[in-house]
Structure 1
Amino acid sequence: LKRNPVLSRLGDLSLPNHEDENLTILPHSSYSETVYQAKSWDHARRVCQFSQREEGELFYEVTSLVTNLTGGVSEEHFELYRKRGQAENFIKEMKSGFFGD
């Protein structure tokens, strides 16, 4: 989930306070997680978040991942989903490059 204002606000809670940070705007990233229930969902779900600020940037970009995986930590879940996305890209490339459809 790239752009969800509610989840972005939840992700902001896990970020360092500006009073705690060096104001030179050094790069920073962190993983966090929370439980969230959208109005349209019948139950709450686990949301893993990755917050990243590039060097020189003022604001963080928060990426949220809704999962039903239990156990483990957010960083492991992001790695798993990144690998899955890479595998899907390989399949897409194979289909378009080698007419594998």
Structure 2
Amino acid sequence: MKLDGKYAAALHNRGTTLGLRGETDRAVADFDAAIKLAPNSAVTINNRGLAFRIKGDLDRAIQDFEAAIKLEPAYAAALLNRANAYGEKRDFDRAIADYDT
């Protein structure tokens, strides 16, 4: 079965699966393509942030978590992910602030 490259949900789901398999570069590429089709998907932006975090690119991860939170201010998963990324950067004050949100 071939993936429809014009269907954001399919790209998002494949990106998620690739990320779970440890193929983070391919996951990011799928999330990028999905975001081009659905730029207001906080879930996809958050998941791309997770892929960046796994790759060790904490700054890009935090940017994505912040973008997801901007779209959906009460998005708990993005707040938790940003807090964890801040903690990994040893920016404990920001991490605690997110955990307290």
TM-score by length of 2: 0.27
Q: TM-score, normalised by structure 1?
A: 0.27
Relative to its length, the structure with more strand (as a share) is: 1
Q: Larger Rg: 1 or 2?
A: 1
Higher helix proportion: 2
